[in-house]
Amino acid sequence: MKGILDLLPFIIFIGIVLLSIFGGEVLKALGGLVMDFSPLIVIAIFVVIFLAASLRIVPEYERAVIFRLGRVIGAKGPGLFILIPIIDKMVRVDLRTVTLDVPTQDIITKDNVSVSVDAVVYFRVVDPVRAIVEVENYLYATSQIAQTTLRSVCGAVELDELLSEREKLNLQLQEIIDRQTDPWGVKVVAVELKKIDLPEELRRAMARQAEAERERRAKIITAEAEYQAAQKLADAAQILASQPLALQLRYLETIQNVVSKPGNTVLIPLPIEMLSYFAKDGSKVQGQGQ
C-alpha cells in the first residue's frame, strides 16, 4: 500500500500528460468539449507534483537514511531536503535516548541460588547508517543482547555480591552490551538493575541471619559496656583508696543527695576507725579505774 501511495503522484502526472496530448481527440470522439492545455500549465503542474512527491522534512531528533537505487548514499537532516522520486528511498532513524525495559530473567547465581532479576537499558543511535544497514532491527537486537548479557553476568557472581555490588555489575553490563552493539552504531548510555526477587524460603533465612547478627552485636555492645564500667570503677577505687579524704567527701555528698528527697529514712553508718577509737578510750578509762 505504501508503494502505491508513493507512485500515485506520478501516475496522476502521466495521466495529465497523456490527457494533454490525446485529450482533444478523445473528447472529440466522445462528443465532449475540447480541452486545450498550454505547455506552461503542463510544466507548472509537473513542478507542483514533483515538489509534493520530493520534499521531505526531518525534525531535529531524527535523521533520514537515503537509499538511491538500493545503494545507501548517507544520512540527511534535520530540516528540509529533496528526494528524487522513485529513485530515492528514505528510512527515518530516531536519535533520542531509548529506555529499554529488559524482561525479568530467571538466574541461578554462582552459589546455586535461584533469583529473578530485571533491568533497564538506556541507549541511543549515534550512526544512523550503520543502525539501518548493519542490523535488521536494532531495537530488537539490543533487547536480546541485554537479556543474554544480564543472565551471564548475574549468573557468574554470588548472591551476596549481586545484592551488595550493584554499581559494579551495572558498569560491567554497560561495558559488555556497548561493546557488542557498537558495530551497529548504537551507544549504550547506562544499565541499571531494577529489582532482584528472592525465594520466600531464602528471605526467611536471611531474616533469621540478620536477627542473629543484631543479637550478637547487642551482646558484644553490652559486654563492652560492662567492661568499660568495671574499668572505670576500678580506676575510681584506686583513686579513693589513695586519697581517704576523697572517700569521706564522696560519703558526705551521697548523704546530702539522700537527705534532699523528702520521706527518706537516713541511716548513717559509723566508720570502724571511730569505733576502735572509742574502744581505745574505754580501755584507758577502765585501766585508770583499776
Same domain, 115 and 184: yes
Burial grade of 175 (CB within 10 A; 0-12, 13-18, 19 or more): middle
* Domain's final residue, options 54, 72, 91: 91
What's the structural domain count of the chain?
Answer: 3
Q: Which residue did the predictor score with more confidence, 280 or 171? A: 171
CA dihedral 103, 108, 109, 113 (to 10 degrees): 120
Task: Read off the pLDDT band of 145 (50, 70, 90).
Answer: very high
Same domain, 12 and 37: yes
* Domain's final residue, options 202, 217, 238: 202
Same domain, 173 and 255: no
- Which residues are CB-contacts of 81 (< 8 A; sequence separation ≥ 6)? 55, 56, 58, 64
Tens digits of residue pLDDT in 100-113: 999 999 888 888 88
Q: Which residue did the predictor score with more confidence, 235 or 178? A: 178
Domain that holds residue 66: 2-91
| d(C-alpha 28, C-alpha 147), whole Å | 71
Q: Is the pLDDT of residue 244 over 80?
A: no
Same domain, 169 and 264: no
Same domain, 48 and 130: no
CATH number of the domain at 149, please.
3.30.479.30
Q: How far apart are the first and last CA of the chain?
A: 144
Q: Which residue did the predictor score with more confidence, 220 or 288? A: 220
Same domain, 117 and 186: yes
Give domain status of residue 105, yes or no: yes
106 contacts 118 by C-beta, under 8 angstroms: no
Same domain, 85 and 126: no
pTM here is 0.61
* Domain's final residue, options 57, 91, 125: 91
Residue % of the chain over a pLDDT of 70 = 71
Mean pLDDT across the chain: 79
Same domain, 127 and 164: yes
Same domain, 126 and 61: no
| DSSP designation for 51 | H
